[in-house]
Structure 1
Amino acid sequence: MDVAAYLARLGVDRPATPDVAALRTLQERHLATVPFENLSIHLGEPIVLDTDALFDKIVRRRRGGFCYELNGLFAALLRELGFDAVLKSAKVFRPDGTLGPPFDHAAVSVELDEPWLADVGFGRFSRFPLRLSATEAQADPEGEFLVLDAPHGDIDVLQDGKPQYRIERRPRALDEFVPTSFWQATSPDSHFTRGPACSLPGKHGRVTLAGDKLIITTHGVREETRLSSDQEILDAYRKRFGIELDRVP
């Protein structure tokens, strides 16, 4: 991996030491720079869970991706920088409180003085790493997070009191997520196949382009604009997210 190119994509210098401060900077800059998006699904592009392919997409072509892509490549970067980082399988909580299947989400666990959760692939989630052994609530710009013991040694992560996902403790390889990634990209039951979406956090909110709707949230106030032409949509991808496309997803 060309670590210098990846760090340049994030706009950060190479950290001197793989510590918590460096992890915080890397996660915050990754979230601020690399969009959470599912555009490949709606452009007919294959999603390849291979480090070289992900590096080409996210760093060289300056695209984003969804959890398997973003956290898969981020974990590889962290390892190159000297962090003890592994992928973990997680089941995502559905709106009705039931759990999705194993490998529903790929999260990154980093072992430092204690285990940390560093997730750059779950959309609106913690801007900074979370202590996985914490017993108290953890404040973050995106809300208040709790990590709780779950059955069979798993860990539940809650955001503002709402369960988000349940993490297994066992490390996983990136290729173990391939079958579920394929399902997410092709099944009519997957929410990723229902329409293109691209999102980035801002200093005081978030900007999202969902189909032809540009949604800007600032200090909790939501403003929605419907874009009237393909060119407006392509311009929004370029100006808001730094993504150059030759056609609308």
Structure 2
Amino acid sequence: MDAQKYLKRIDISAVQNLDLEYLTILQNSHMHKIPFENLDVTRKIPIGLNADAFFEKILVKGRGGFCYELNGLFQNLLSDLGYHSHLISCTVKKPDGWVREDSHAAILVTLNEINYLVDVGFGDSVRQPLPLTGEKKTDVSGTYRIKKFSMGVYDLQRLDGREWKILYRFSDNPKKLDDFHDACLFNQTSPDSHFTHGDLATIATKNGRITLSGMTGTRSENGEKEKFELNEEEKREFLREQFNIEL
């Protein structure tokens, strides 16, 4: 993979020391420059688990993607740079239960014998590496921690008022892209998949987030949200101006 092209895409000029600070810069910059989006899914354009295809779509064509594409490509970058990392599988929590088991892909990075959760493919979530030690981290999107559930199994939690709520549960077992084949197919085709029910695109900003959901645009800044309805022409312009995506 062309790591320099990747770094240029996320507006990082040079490789630095392979430490936690640089990993944080990489993750944060990625989430500010590359959107989470499902526009191929809703247009029934097949997404295969192929790193070369991810590179072409995200780095050459300037698109975004969903978790397998974003975290799959980002984990490749981390490995190419020299970080000790691997993919992991996660099960996302819903208000009334759980989604399909092990259907979300994220990354585990080991630095100085400490494991960190890194995820650039979960939309509005933590923007920095999160240690599995339980230490709390806060950014513009909220306050987070990792809570151990059982041996090798952990929960990503976000503070909601005074209550910690689970976003997803994950295992620290290493996974390969091919391990997500069935889950990737499910998320592209099943009526039970969240991603088959309308267009979604979202990207982090300095103080919030910009999101398209169906025909609704949302700008969030410093905890305040502005929502507005779009017609088809306005939607295309919104995607072009906010995400640099041409349908």
**CA distance in 2 between partners of 1:215 and 1:139 (Å):** 22
Offset at residue 152 of structure 1 (A): 4.0
Offset at residue 99 of structure 1 (A): 3.1
Instruction: List alignment gaps of at least 5 residues for structure 1.
Output: none
Offset at residue 132 of structure 1 (A): 1.4
**CA distance in 2 between partners of 1:174 and 1:103 (Å):** 12
TM-score after normalising by structure 2? 0.94
- Secondary structure of the residue that 1:150 maps to in structure 2? strand
The residue type paired with residue 119 of structure 1 is: D
Partner deviation per Cα, 1:158-187 (whole Å, 9 max, x = no partner): 011110111112100011101101101100
> Equivalent residue for 2:214?
211
**CA distance in 2 between partners of 1:170 and 1:238 (Å):** 39
**CA distance in 2 between partners of 1:99 and 1:225 (Å):** 30
> Equivalent residue for 2:35?
35
- The structure carrying a bigger strand percent of its residues is 2
**CA distance in 1 between partners of 2:138 and 2:212 (Å):** 27
Aligned in 2, Cα 1:233/1:101: closer, same or farther, shift over 3 Å? closer
- Secondary structure of the residue that 2:195 maps to in structure 1? helix
> Equivalent residue for 1:105?
104
Residue 182 of structure 2, aligned match among 179, 184, 193: 179
Aligned length: 242
**CA distance in 2 between partners of 1:105 and 1:64 (Å):** 16
> Equivalent residue for 1:231?
233
Aligned in 2, Cα 1:191/1:101: closer, same or farther, shift over 3 Å? closer
> Equivalent residue for 1:201?
204
**CA distance in 1 between partners of 2:142 and 2:75 (Å):** 24
Q: Counterparts of 1:159-178 in structure 2 under 5 Å? A: 159-160=158-159, 161-178=164-181
1:60 maps to 2:60: yes
RMSD: 1.2
**CA distance in 1 between partners of 2:135 and 2:6 (Å):** 34
**CA distance in 2 between partners of 1:108 and 1:69 (Å):** 12
Confirm or deny: 8 A CA contact 2:62 2:244 kept in the other structure. yes
The residue type paired with residue 210 of structure 2 is: V
Q: Counterparts of 1:102-141 in structure 2 under 5 Å? A: 102-113=101-112, 114-133=114-133, 135-141=134-140
Partner deviation per Cα, 1:112-161 (whole Å, 9 max, x = no partner): 1111111000011011111112x332222221112111134301110111
Confirm or deny: 8 A CA contact 2:140 2:222 kept in the other structure. no
The residue type paired with residue 107 of structure 1 is: A
Structure 1 stretch 212-221 or stretch 24-33: which is displaced more? 212-221
TM-score after normalising by structure 1? 0.93
